[in-house]
Amino acid sequence: MAQINFGGVLENVVTREEFTLEKAREVLKNETVAVIGDGWVEGDNLFEIEEACKRATIIQYLLSDAGQIASWPVIKPFLTKGKALYFSHGFGITFHEKTGIVPPADVDVILVAPKGSGTSLRRLFVNGKGLNSSYAVFQDATGNAHNRVLALGIGVGSGYLFETDFKKEVYSDLTGERGILMGALAGLFEAQFNILREKGHSPSEAFNETVEELTQSLMPLVAENGMDWMFANTSVTAQRGALDWKGKFRDATAPVFRDLYDSVASGKEAARVIAEGSKPEYRENLEKELKEIRESELWQAGAAVRKLRP
């Protein structure tokens, strides 16, 4: 385990160099891993949940949060002594009063949470790269939970692994999804696009200045070099404006992020997810919401811009 300086704070991380893929294979060589989720081929590697869990020594419980709640009575009888229950999200365990997910005491309960989508994780792994992941051990019944979780974390394609716990993972994840990763970003897109349109700018101009330049040009450079590099390598006009307005946006949004985190920590967000996700009409209502976004002028302009990319 290596100590890395993250902005003046030393954190323990596990890298591929110290916990190699070969070491992961050695740890897992006598394990049978069942992935409870999508993407399998019937007649080849697809089994009934009961059969998969019976065969497994490690059960990767990768259904949606609502799916985990619904399937828990099916899964739980197969969590026999010495097995491991693996999550990619801390929701079910952290909010167990609402989900009913309480594992028996004689199984390992572990988590690896890649910081990105499953499709990105697989694509990067195939290309010899990886997404960074958090990992956690909620319950070490066998004395081997740490080796199991690190081996699985490296095995699924993590760039490096940083330690957390189930509660911190779900609090940060729900805040991030609702905040800068999706909710806040989508809201900021809409706000700037709408103001530009109100002021007479064309849909193409408003979209390019709001979304296209950010996603296609600036964010890859920020990811590669950092925000200070981006400020240093733009015009004086852009530098001065960004530096002058950065604090205003930070101060204006900080109360919203604080309210958001408090809502997550209180369990209100989890309760809403469970209540809405369990409604039989949820998918139908979701499609209505997505249709409204898809057919908005902002994202209709986006569809046109994407078609024009070389």
Q: Catalytic positions, please?
A: 89
φ, ψ (nearest 5 deg) of residue 69: -60, -45
Question: Alpha helices, DSSP H only, in the chain?
Answer: 21-28, 49-55, 65-75, 91-94, 96-99, 118-126, 145-155, 166-178, 183-198, 203-207, 213, 219-225, 227-232, 236-265, 268-277, 282-294, 297-308
Strands 9-15 and 2-6 turn out to be antiparallel
For residue 145, give the nearest of 108, 105, 107 by alpha carbon: 108
For residue 80, give the nearest of 111, 105, 100 by alpha carbon: 105
Residues 6+ apart with CB under 8 A from 276: 282
| Other residues' Cβ atoms within 10 Å of the Cβ of residue 184 | 17
